[in-house]
Chains A and B, each alone.
Chain A
Amino acid sequence: MTDDPKAPGRKGVSRRGFLTSVGTGALSAVAASRIEAEPTERAELLEGEELSKVTLILNGRSRQLLVEPRWSLAHVLREELGLTGTKVGCDRGECGACTVLVNDVPRYACLMLAVEAEGARIETVEGLMEGEKLGHTQQAFVEKDALQCGYCTSGQIMAVDGMLRSSPNPSLDEIRQGVSGNLCRCGAYAHIFAAAERAAELKREGGAS
């Protein structure tokens, strides 16, 4: 046995280069007609024992990595890529700490297979930063003290940021609905509502960020 999880021989690496990437992310708008028009390529079966290549568009950059089919996106982000801003609170879609944006839409990264993210645009809390500068939603959370221990905070921020992308001027009810998939055991909800309102304001004032 070798100690290196990536060492050859520990697990096979899939023969094929990439998952068949069709119809996700930016491609989806045009994909439907293309699929019907073209003869379909047969998708490859990825074996459970093997590591397969997957390509993600992660915080604006294309990233290739090797994953087992069963690995969650949250696991890959945190343990393989070191993007530990995305937290895992339950690993079963019941808390929202792992919320990321998949093609601009908030999703639970713990309940999404990494292989399902092939070709998708994934944004994590790190991706909201402009260099060292906080994004608008992050800044709003600071101003309104919309956090305590901070462990749910990345997920809350991603839920709010995702909500504001589809609904830039949310009412209080929309905000409460928008973060209702994110538990905060410290109970800072009331401050989170205020932060979401502030984030909407900052985005209106400051443009996209």
Chain B
Amino acid sequence: MTLDRERPYWLEGIDLPDTPSQDEDIEPWDETKVVGKPLPRVDAYERVSGSAVYSADVVLPRMLYAAILRCPYPHAEVKSVDTGAAEKLPGVRAVLSAFSPEDAATRPHSEFIRERLFNTHCRYEGETVAAVAAETPYDAWDAVRAIEVEYERLPFVSDEREALEPDAPLVHDAGNRVAEPSTYERGDVEAGFAQADVVLEQEYRSECEIHTPMEPHGAVAKWDGDQLTVWESTQGVFNVQSGVASALGMQFSKVRVIGHYMGGGFGSKLSSGKYTVIAALLAKKTARPVKCVLTREETFLAVGNRPPSNMRLKAGVKRDGTLTAMQFWGTGTGGAYRAGGTSLLDWLVRDLYTCPNAKTETTDIYINAGPARPFRAPGHPQCAWALEQMMDALAVEIGMDPIELRLKNIPAYSQAREGNPPYTTTGLKECLEEGARSFGWTEARERSSAASADGPMRRGVGVASCLWPYGMGSPPATAIVKLYSDGTVNLNTGAADIGTGTKTVLAMVVAEELGVDPGEVQIENADTGTTQFAGASGGSMTVPSEAPTVRAAAIDVKHQLLELAAEEMNVAVSTLYLKDGKVQSTADPEVEREPSSLRSLGRRRMLTGVGHRAPNPAGKVVNPFAAQFCEVEVNIRTGEVNVLRFLGAHDSGRVMSLLTYKNQVVGGITMGIGFGMTEARVLDGDQTGKMVNKNWHDYKLPTALDVPPEVECVPVDPGDREANNTGAKGIGEPATIPTAAAVANAVFHATGVRMTGTPINPSRLVEALAAQRGE
């Protein structure tokens, strides 16, 4: 895999238009009045009052409810589907299955992977078999229960570690290896290991994590003749539009997708789902709107996950902390289809630290389980789990502070990319140093070491760092900023605000340029019928893609305004500028005109500024960096771990909106605690292959009692003037990459036990501690 292209792998194959680059070279701000300030979210009112209408909230006249019958087995052939009894039940209006006459029911459908909408060869538990539309969701589920399906159960494999054995059941006829192993090599690792004073080799494993955003996946579909409108809980309305159009053989102009509010996605809502197409087909068949919102259980089975990873890492270091070689082997599984089971799994080993010799090999394997989807920094929390624990172990071996070891190996350029392009900025050193200072690393480390007294409680501190190979943003993106004749502003962007504060950031950019109150900027977003193109909100790309675009649009409208003003005031446009929302003059400090007082603007009623995202700097790499620190208290008898505090020091470039930036760090750390300490998919691999914990009781997300009461955020802004015209890089993903590894390192510091598998929960830790005591 190569990262030379600007487009992340999860957008490969998705048609994105090229937008013209902005013809003007806009420099990043030196000082800001609005951008970077701790202002409340512009859509907070809607979100706290209950007035925001999420897709799951859409209630339309005569609307029906859909329910989906899913295969209960990990591997089965559907022999027949008898819907007769279901169709006769009260309230039932339509039933679809692979045996329905609708062509679309069996045609290929793309949701990251291409498979038939209703697949008779079910390769995972949760594959769609049939669907119902009825007057109430209760009626719909009555009908699902009344559908009779004859399955031929087939042998299955649930564990990628067993799937390559010669007698393993085949998920696909061609074998369970998705492709030949993906390899990377630079330098000579054997020579590197020979130069090392210390060489360590260790296996690590991370369990399968499931997105489970609070709002389940779903869509509401409504037809007006041949025009289809879809309200979908999505990160990217344009991806849903192209997905639905392709599945139904429709033109883009016939498919309008609206996603004004959505309740979380984390990568699992980047494209349309089968549920979208099912809602559309049922709506077509009944000539009524249909709501299809998945149950929580369905979201555990069928709409993505972070693949489990099995990793082996060998690393060599000299006594002075110089890394000499790293070699990495990883296997993973995207489930029953080609779904990025090992995507980016080795990237941090390749590129986070300066190391002349590196070699990696990753192998993606099929199993009979639900397909993966991109999950907040694909591959990275897993790789950090291995690499950052290895760095910790190397530091112990050579008797060096783990921060010192990292500081010795800060990269100045991307070693893993073709031609070794330099980073525009690398704030990793500052993240480590400023983070350590704010955290009180040295004191806490000494305190912890001294605290190993009597009693079962032990304290420890841990650190881990990361980079994120995206987070630079990219074209294509277009935005429109309209200035009304009364001086107020409308912003039009296709971007979805998935909770990261996109709308707030963009309104602040408009406010910075045009001197209006960000809360007063009217925003139209995430509607393919009415808004400008934006890529799906993912990859920590949204702010660095959209903010520069919106800024260009705001500057465009500002120039138009100044030209109008110059003409009306009969002065040279070069003497005019906009300050605090008023037209002012360099020639005459007395001159001050409200835009609303310009007659020419009044006649025009509106000025329309258009902005496009300019290309990223050629020959350079724009990446965010981070270091996180935590302190834990461990009961060494029971294995209970209390995370006392966390600090995230992040170089994500300019802080655009302080509150939402901090919130991303808080949220990333919370999610990382889940990945590292509580979450794991459990498949009944030895018997039925079914998932036994497909609910939020048995699959354990961290609660308010599992996170530290306070999370400190230390933004590090290296003043990137090359990245884009705002200097912002992405924050959402780096905020969760190093968290779990930092916890593991702190647990090691507290106990001397190295937890190489997630999650670090009492049952696993108590066994490891007992083993350490020799019990």
Query: Which 8 A-B residue pairs are closest in the complex by CB-CB distance?
Result: A85-B50, A187-B670, A151-B263, A149-B499, A150-B47, A148-B499, A84-B57, A187-B667
Q: Is B663 an interface residue (CB 8 A)?
A: yes
- CB neighbours (8 Å) of A124 from chain B are 50
Q: Does A143 contact B (CB under 8 A)?
A: yes
Q: Is B409 an interface residue (CB 8 A)?
A: no
Give chain A residues whose Cβ lies under 8 Å from the Cβ of B54. Answer: 84, 87, 150-151
**Is A121's beta carbon under 8 Å from chain B?**
no
Residues of A within 8 A of B705 (CB): 176-177, 180
**B296–A191 CB distance below 8 A:** no
Contact of A148 among B93, B500, B701 (CB under 8 A): B500
Interface residue? A31 (CB, 8 A): no
Those of A82-125 within 8 Å (CB) of chain B: 82-92, 94-95, 97, 124-125
B49 interfacial contact with A, CB 8 Å: yes
Complex CA gap A1/B263 in Å reads 36
The reply to whether A189 and B57 form a contact with Cβ atoms under 8 Å apart is: no
Residues of A within 8 A of B53 (CB): 84
- Alpha-carbon gap, A11 to B93, bound state (A): 16
B604 located at the interface, meaning its Cβ lies under 8 Å from any Cβ of chain A in the complex: no
From B46, B261, B499, B710, contact of A190 by CB (8 A): B710
Q: How far is the CA of A88 from the CA of B293 in the complex (A)?
A: 10
The residues of B with any CB-CB pair to A shorter than 8 Å are 40-41, 44-54, 56-57, 59, 62, 90-91, 93, 135-138, 211-216, 261-264, 266, 288, 295-296, 498-501, 659-660, 662-663, 666-671, 674, 695-697, 701-705, 707-711
B704 touches A189 (CB 8 A): yes
- CB within 8 Å of B: which of A34-92? 49, 68, 70-71, 75, 78-79, 82-92
Confirm or deny: A14 has a beta carbon within 8 angstroms of a beta carbon on chain B: no
Interface-centre pick from B40, B91, B499 (highest chain A CB count, 10 A): B499
Chain B residues positioned under 8 Å from A153 (CB to CB)? 47-48
What's the Cα separation between A179 and B262 when bound, in Å?
Answer: 22
A-B contacts at CB below 8 angstroms, number:
198
Minimum Cβ distance to chain A for residue B740 (Å)? 13
Q: Could you tell me the distance in whole angstroms from the C-beta of A115 to the nearest C-beta in chain B? A: 14
- Contact A94 to B138, CB < 8 A, known contacts A151-B54, A185-B213, A189-B704: no
- Residues from chain A with a CB closer than 8 A to the CB of B211 are 185
Identify B666's interface contact among A5, A87, A188, CB under 8 A. A188
Excluding A177-B705, A185-B212, A188-B663, 20 further A-B contacts by CB distance (< 8 Å) are A3-B135, A85-B49, A87-B57, A89-B215, A90-B296, A94-B296, A97-B214, A134-B45, A141-B44, A142-B45, A149-B215, A153-B48, A180-B704, A183-B696, A186-B264, A186-B499, A189-B666, A190-B670, A190-B709, A193-B709
Residues of B within 8 A of A84 (CB): 50, 53-54, 57, 59
Nearest-neighbour CB distance to chain A for B15, whole angstroms, equals 28
Q: Is the CB of B498 within 8 A of A145?
A: no
- Asked if A5 and B214 sit within 8 Å, CB to CB, the answer is no
State whether A148 touches B704 (Cβ < 8 A). Answer: no
Number of A residues near B (Cβ < 8 Å) is 64
- List, in ascending order, chain A residues with CB within 8 A of B288's CB: 3
A184 at the interface (CB under 8 A from B): yes
User: Can you list 19 A-B contacts with CB-CB less than 8 angstroms, sorted by A residue number?
Assistant: A79-B59, A89-B296, A124-B50, A125-B49, A126-B50, A145-B40, A145-B659, A150-B263, A153-B47, A177-B705, A182-B704, A183-B696, A183-B701, A184-B704, A186-B663, A187-B671, A188-B666, A189-B707, A190-B710
Contacts of B266 in A (CB 8 A): 185
Chain A residues near B667 (CB-CB < 8 A): 148, 186-188
B57 CB contacts on chain A under 8 angstroms: 78, 84, 87
Q: Determine if B214 and A147 form an interchain contact, defined as CB atoms under 8 angstroms apart.
A: no
Residues of B contacting A78 with CB < 8 Å? 57, 59
With A85-B49, A142-B44 in contact, do A191 and B695 touch (Cβ < 8 Å)? no
Residue A129 interfacial (CB < 8 Å): yes
**Which A residues touch B47, using CB under 8 A?**
147, 150, 153
Residue of A whose beta carbon sits closest to that of B134:
A5
A10 and B91 contact, CB distance less than 8 A: yes
Is B48 a contact partner of A138 (Cβ separation < 8 A)?
A: yes
Pick from B48, B93, B498: contact of A149, CB below 8 A: B498
The answer to whether B50 and A180 touch across the interface, beta carbons within 8 angstroms, is: no
Closest residue on chain B to residue A88 by CB atoms: B56
Q: Which residues of A (149-201) have their CB < 8 Å from a CB of B?
A: 149-154, 157, 172, 176-177, 179-193
Residues of B near A125 (CB, < 8 A) are 48-50
Partner pick for A192 among B56, B668, B704, CB 8 A cutoff: B704
CA distance A142 to B52 in the complex (A): 14
Q: Tell me if A147 and B44 are in contact (CB < 8 A).
A: yes
Q: How far is the CB of B630 from chain A (nearest CB, A)?
A: 13
